[in-house]
Amino acid sequence: MIKTIEYVDGVVRMIDQTRLPAEKKFVDCRTIEEVGQAIKTMIIRGAPAIGVAAAMGVSLGADSIEAASYDDFYRILEEKCDRLGESRPTAVNLAWGINRMKKVAQQNKDLPIGELKSKLREEALSIITEDISTNQMMGQHGQTLVKDGSVILTHCNAGALATAGFGTALGVVRAAANAGKDIKVLANETRPFLQGARLTTWELKEDGIPVKLITDNMCGFFMNKQEIDLVVVGADRIAANGDVANKIGTYMVAVLAKENGIPFYVAAPISTVDISLSNGDQIEIEERSSNEITEFRGVPIAPDGVEAFNPGFDVTPAKYLSAIITEAGIIRPPFNKNLNSAVNSDV
């Protein structure tokens, strides 16, 4: 199994996703600040993986604190957490991972500081195993939607690399393949950061699952020819009404899928649902450097000085979703009601 992130001898080790597929190199983070930097620079990316990295970062941050009292310890930890929380804005998992760790610290305030640090380490490690089993459950539910012989379109990378392992959208793909179904994947390249071309094809190839790469602007062509049976993507944040923030271009894929009568599924853990936001307009969208648009790997592809927009995500209105695949089962419209009950039975 691909180990996206793990804890080895006091360091948090992650696959450097900026270097894939050319080389599989690892980056070791020894401090919470290094983890924050790894998230910011996309060494690790994908909503659930960001949440896991954040929790592990908080554990490293806690380890570094020299404090005589819980109050001093927690004040310093909170400052570190606040800085870590600024690394990327859109995926809810960053705040989710940090808040879960802060809660563990608060619940164990009476422990000696050394034991509190061990508790935080245990919590971060349990988030890794939980994430993998959540993805496997999601995969089991999701694969029931995949018929033998299906061609599945996906956008960006919502695979093992975007999680602690197995993946969300690609978890559905893996579970279908494991169930003996003959499936094929079409991967949108996902301009401009190329998560589809670089990461999705890499990890599916590693697993021997048939995959073909297309550019983002080709998916309508294949849908129109009825060569795609279903679309499965991940999510960075889901509002209470079912609006979904995911990688830029997802909205375009969803609209095309509806127009062509193709089911469009979002696979995401319940923790991705941000019930505090009534709709997707309230989701903060990361604006990334315009160099990602005007250059290709450092080589200019637009005239010098040309300005560019580079929103990293878009919001797909809930009306385009056939269902949301979660570890708790398949959630169908009306999302307002059904997401609410799923979230409430999860807490």
Which are the catalytic amino acids?
A: 236
With vertex at residue 157, the alpha carbon angle to CA 215 and CA 98, rounded to the nearest 5 degrees, is: 145
162 binds ligand MRU (CB under 6 A): yes
Residue whose CB is less far from ligand MRU, 48 or 89: 48
Shortest Cβ 91–ligand MRU spacing (Å): 6
Q: Over the chain, what HEC string results?
A: CCCCEEEECCEEEEECCCCCCCCCCEEEECCHHHHHHHHHCCCCCCHHHHHHHHHHHHHHHHHCCCCCCHHHHHHHHHHHHHHHCCCCCCCCHHHHHHHHHHHHHHHCCCCCHHHHHHHHHHHHHHHHHHHHHHHHHHHHHHHCCCCCCCEEEECCCCCHHHCCCCCCHHHHHHHHHHCCCCCEEEEECCCCCCHHHHHHHHHHHHCCCCEEEECHHHHHHHHHCCCCCEEEECCCEEECCCCEEEECCHHHHHHHHHHCCCCEEEECCHHHEECCCCCHHHCCCCECCCHHHHEECCEECCCCCCCCCCECEEEECHHHCCEEEECCEEECCCHHHHHHHHHHHHC
228 binds ligand MRU (CB under 6 A): no
139 binds ligand MRU (CB under 6 A): no
Shortest Cβ 121–ligand MRU spacing (Å): 24
Q: Which stretch binds ligand MRU (CB under 6 A): 102-110, 123-131, 154-162, 214-222?
A: 154-162
**Rg of the chain in Å (alpha carbons):** 20
For residues 10 to 49, the per-residue mask of contacts with ligand MRU, x marking binding by CB under 6 A and - elsewhere, is -----------------------------------xxxx-
Residue whose CB is less far from ligand MRU, 105 or 211: 211
Q: Which stretch binds ligand MRU (CB under 6 A): 27-35, 232-240, 256-264, 299-307?
A: 232-240
Q: Which of residues 106-125 bind ligand MRU (CB under 6 A)?
A: none
Among residues 4, 134, 241, 246, the one that binds ligand MRU under rule CB under 6 A = 246
158 binds ligand MRU (CB under 6 A): yes
Shortest Cβ 106–ligand MRU spacing (Å): 28
Q: Which of residues 297-316 bind ligand MRU (CB under 6 A)?
A: 312
163 binds ligand MRU (CB under 6 A): yes
Q: Which stretch binds ligand MRU (CB under 6 A): 120-128, 156-164, 172-180, 220-228?
A: 156-164
**Which of 92, 102, 94 has the alpha carbon at shortest distance from 123?**
102
Shortest Cβ 115–ligand MRU spacing (Å): 34
Other C-beta atoms closer than 10 Å to the C-beta of 155 total 28
Among residues 104, 228, 235, 273, the one that binds ligand MRU under rule CB under 6 A = 235
Tokens of 138: 């999601």
For residues 247 to 286, the per-residue mask of contacts with ligand MRU, x marking binding by CB under 6 A and - elsewhere, is x---------------------------------------
Q: Which stretch binds ligand MRU (CB under 6 A): 22-30, 230-238, 289-297, 302-310?
A: 230-238
List C-alpha distances in Å: 84 to 39, 56, 166, 198, 311.
9, 11, 26, 27, 21
Question: Residues in contact with ligand MRU, total (CB under 6 A)?
Answer: 17
Residue whose CB is less far from ligand MRU, 90 or 241: 90
**To 10 degrees, the CA torsion angle through 33, 38, 44, 49?**
10
Residue whose CB is less far from ligand MRU, 61 or 234: 234
342 binds ligand MRU (CB under 6 A): no
Binding site for ligand MRU (CB under 6 A): 45-48, 91, 156, 158, 162-163, 168, 195, 234-236, 246-247, 312
